[in-house]
Each structure stands twice: as C-alpha cells, then as structure tokens.
C-alpha cells in the first residue's frame, strides 16, 4: 500500500458545544485496506447519548435557532467554508477509514456532496414557502368567513444515524436540511467510520456560530447507544440511512413515541439494457458494482439483457470484469477498494458461494480474496451469468463487487423482473431512444432512475426508494419539507 498524507484525527466527540471524552473510554478505528490501527476515538455510553439528547432538546426549546432563519443561513455557510479549509485532510481521512478509492472521493464520496450539501439548503431558507396564505373562505362547518394559513415549522430534535459506506455524503445532506429547517441534531456515525464526524464536530465548535447543543456528535462502539435516539421521547424524528433490517427495527422501536421517520434503506437495483441499445456503451454500466467495492445502496447489481443479444452483452461484461481488479485505495487509478470489515467480507464471500450452489455461472471471480493481498478486507470482483431472478444473489443486497446478469424475453418481461424485488431504490434503462427509455422508467417501481448513462445525483434532486428501500426522501425540496411539521391556522376574516 502507498503511504498517505499525514492526517490529524479528532478523537473527541462533541456534546453541547464541547469536545469531550466518552464515559466508556475509547475504541479503535481500523483501516480496512491494511487492518492497521488509524487511531482511537471517544466511546460514548448511554448516559453520554442522553446528555446529547438533552442538549439538543434544550437548544431547540429555549433558543431562537428554530425561528432565526438568518442565523441558520449564516451558520450553514460558515460550516461550508470551514470544511473547505480542511477538505484535503478530510479526503485522506475518508480513504483511510472508509477504504474509499481516491477516485471516488472526487465524486459522490466527498467533492459532490461538499459542493452543495450545505449551500443548497441554505439557499432554500430564503426561497421556501414557510407560510402559505389560502385566503378567505366560508368554512362549511361553521358558516364563518375565515382566513386560513398553512405554516411550515421545524420538527424538533432529529436523531441522525449514518452508515459507513458514504459517511460524509450522508451526514452533510442530513445536517444541511435538518439545520436549515430549524431543527437541532444528534449525529450518530457508524462505529467503523467515526473520524469524519468528529472532524465536523470540531469544526462546528471552533469555526461556526452554531449555538451549543444545536449539533451534537456522539461516537460509540455499541450500536445500542444509538438506539437511545429511537427510544427517547425527547427526540422527535429519526433520519436513518442504512440496512433495511435496522430500518425496520427503528420503525418498530420508534412507534411507542410516534417518531417521525426518514429511512433510506437497501436496494437491489436493476439495469435494463433494451435490445436497441448500443451495447458497447450500455454494458459499461456493469462497472457500477465495482465502484467502491459495490458498497452503495443504489449500486446497479442486476443487469437485464435481452436473450437475443445476451451473449454479446456477456462478452463485454466478461472483458470488463477480467480487467478491473481490486486495488490500493490510495492509487488514483483504483475504483474497487476493500470492503469495510472482516464481517462484511465473510458475508459477501458466503453469498458468492451461494450463487454457485444455486446454479449460477461464476464467469469471472472467486469467493476467495485476491491473492495479492495478505492483509485487509478484500473481495474479488465477481460476475455471475445465467442467473434466475429467484436466486439469492438476485434477491439479497450483497453490498460487494458482484454483478448478476439475467436474461429476459421482451420489454414486459424485463419490467416484471426488475420489479420482482422487495426493494425499490434505484434503476437504469439503456436504449437508443430517450422516449422508449422514459416509457420503461414509468413502469419501474423504484425511486431513483437513470436513463442512458445519466444519474440525477444532486442536492437538488430527491433520493429514496419504494417498498423495503425506505420511507421519505433525502435532498431536494421533498427532503427539505420532511424535516418540517405542517400547522394549519384559521382566524376570522376581516
């Protein structure tokens, strides 16, 4: 592995405006590419988490943060500028703790969300219709001429729970919209990737006017510390990105306090390559599961090819998978780095073996890690063909560098196969005709569709899914609105 730039990590978490230690001591952060220790970070107890919740509750109830829009706008722009001063250190930090390839940090891992993750919601503070006047109307129940208005107000205290695969991207989009709408936040990063969050905590404490308690960053090795957010009656909303299994647990545990929920969960996204597509271009989307070792909820892990051109498409994909290897995330040419942990590595390898056992053809790849790595958590890029959509590798979210190629008979069959999933997060359609691709996209039960190689990834575009892929949307106006409550107000018209 090549050496990385020197990075100064923040070991303390941030509660009520102060950088503090954890009552449970510290826990170790590991580089998934080398298994070397990166550093130690504060390990919070349940008492620490509840102290953070109390701080967020108090700052929402007792300060003007929820009503002072100019302050919120100024603070978001201050945080953007503060991150910019340490952007390159943050890049190196993400490569080290996430195992993210350097190339991916120049896109969705860092640069893309940094560009507008805070600036877009800051702009919305001025343009959003916080109050809508419905005008005068005679209310049928009372017969009284009445003026009616609708107000958007912040939800309150938001528990933001973040995964390890794209931690900065998810965090900054949660913080931007929750803070812009006037909420206070308790941020719980994943135990595997805490340092990007503690860095943000330090920047907030030292370089912004965000009042104490408005943002709290709580790091913990114990996932149940994060569950305090779901159980606490002082927390009004959970904003969670992660697995469907955990999302269902949050929904269940939050029911007793009627938690508002945003859940961005798993996916098993299908790419439909139509028979009129340019296959040399269309099949290149098969590279998707190799980006960041397939550790993306919207990764296009099923590719649907027409039987009439199936062999042609498979040949292109075979050459692609034979020529892209897992590699050092520090290398600018790497797109497929390590997976996050030994647990994930073993899980992915088990699913690859299941694919073989169920009769799919493992055309390229292996359930064994690449021979060139003797340390780290590596998975060999693997291409399966002759896959039936009922197979485990076509139904379960693998979250690794594995593509399942499925044949279809006609357009109706392709749509049926794509929709035959408990998930509905994303999808792609490739065709020589935008009109034909659009007509197929309308039939797909998924929330984020790309046509002919495009993707609507942006702070301005809502992202989220149907079915087991979640509830609500991140980003865009829809994402902004979900952090608000709606209050209808009526009074006698004059």
Catalytic residues: 264, 297
Rounded distance between C-alpha atoms, residue 25 and residue 27, angstroms? 7
| CA-angle at 77, arms to 49 and 209, nearest 5° | 55
Query: How many CB atoms sit inside 10 A of residue 135's CB?
Result: 10
Q: Please name the residues in contact with 88: beta carbons below 8 A apart, sequence gap of 6 or more.
A: 5
Distance of alpha carbon 406 from alpha carbon 16, whole angstroms:
52
399 contacts 350 by C-beta, under 8 angstroms: no
Please check whether residue 35 is in contact with residue 376, taking contact to mean a CB–CB distance below 8 angstroms: yes
Instruction: Answer for the pair 338, 401: CB distance below 8 angstroms, yes or no.
Output: no
Show Cβ contacts of residue 246 under 8 Å, excluding neighbours closer than 6 positions: 240
Find tokens 């905590």 and name the residue: 201
d(CA 326, CA 334): 7
Six-digit token pair at 298? Answer: 């919207």
Give dist(CA 261, CA 392) in Å, integer: 29
Give the Cβ contact number of residue 127 at 10 Å: 7
Edge-to-edge strand list for the sheet holding 13-15 = 18-20, 13-15, 215-217, 184-188, 157-161, 237-241, 260-264, 470-471
Q: Tell me the Ramachandran region of residue 407: left when phi exceeds 0, alpha when psi lies from -120 to 50, beta otherwise.
A: beta
CB half-sphere exposure, 157, CA atoms < 13 A: 26
Query: Is the Cα dihedral 136, 480, 423, 449 positive or negative?
Result: positive
């Amino acid at each position: 592995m090549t050496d990385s730039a020197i990075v100064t990590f923040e070991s303390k978490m941030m509660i009520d405006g102060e950088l503090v230690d954890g009552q449970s001591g510290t826990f170790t952060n590991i580089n998934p590419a080398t298994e070397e220790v990166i550093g130690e970070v504060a390990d919070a107890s349940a008492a620490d988490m509840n102290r953070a919740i109390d701080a967020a509750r108090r700052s929402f109830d007792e300060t003007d943060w929820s009503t002072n829009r100019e302050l919120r706008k100024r603070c978001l722009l201050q945080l953007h500028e503060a991150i910019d001063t340490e952007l390159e250190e943050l890049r190196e930090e993400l490569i080290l703790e996430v195992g993210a390839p350097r190339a991916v940090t120049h896109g969705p891992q860092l640069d893309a969300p940094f560009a507008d993750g805070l600036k877009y919601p800051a702009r919305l503070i001025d343009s959003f219709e916080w109050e809508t006047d419905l005008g005068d109307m005679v209310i049928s129940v009372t017969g009284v001429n009445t003026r009616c208005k609708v107000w958007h107000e912040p939800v309150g205290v938001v528990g933001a729970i973040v995964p390890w695969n794209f931690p900065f991207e998810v965090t900054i989009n949660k913080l931007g919209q929750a803070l812009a709408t006037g909420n206070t936040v308790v941020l719980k990063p994943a135990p595997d990737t805490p340092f990007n969050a503690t860095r943000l905590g330090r920047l907030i404490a030292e370089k912004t006017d965000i009042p104490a308690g408005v943002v709290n960053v709580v790091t913990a090795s114990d996932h149940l510390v994060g569950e305090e957010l779901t159980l606490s009656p002082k927390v009004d909303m959970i904003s969670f990105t992660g697995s469907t299994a955990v999302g269902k647990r949050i929904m269940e545990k939050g029911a007793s306090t009627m938690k508002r929920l945003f859940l961005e969960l798993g996916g098993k996204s299908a790419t439909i390559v139509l028979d009129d597509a340019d296959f040399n271009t269309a099949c290149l989307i098969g590279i998707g599961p190799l980006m960041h070792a397939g550790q993306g909820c919207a990764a296009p892990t099923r590719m649907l090819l027409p039987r009439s051109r199936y062999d042609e498409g498979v040949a292109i994909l075979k050459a692609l998978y034979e020529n892209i290897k897992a590699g050092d995330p520090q290398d600018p040419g790497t797109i497929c780095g390590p997976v996050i942990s030994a647990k994930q590595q073993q899980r992915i390898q088990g699913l690859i073996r299941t694919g073989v056992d169920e009769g799919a053809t493992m055309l390229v790849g292996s359930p064994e890690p690449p021979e060139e790595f003797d340390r780290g958590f590596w998975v060999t890029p693997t291409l399966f063909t002759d896959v039936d959509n009922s197979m485990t590798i076509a139904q379960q979210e693998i979250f690794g560098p594995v593509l399942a190629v499925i044949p279809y008979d006609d357009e109706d069959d392709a749509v049926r196969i794509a929709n035959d999933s408990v998930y509905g997060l994303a999808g792609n359609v490739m065709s020589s005709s935008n009109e034909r691709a659009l007509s197929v996209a309308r039939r797909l039960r998924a929330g984020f569709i790309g046509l002919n190689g495009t993707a609507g990834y942006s702070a301005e575009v809502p992202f989220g899914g149907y079915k087991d892929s979640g509830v609500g949307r991140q980003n865009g106006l829809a994402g902004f609105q979900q952090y608000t409550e709606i209050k209808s107000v009526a009074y006698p018209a004059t």
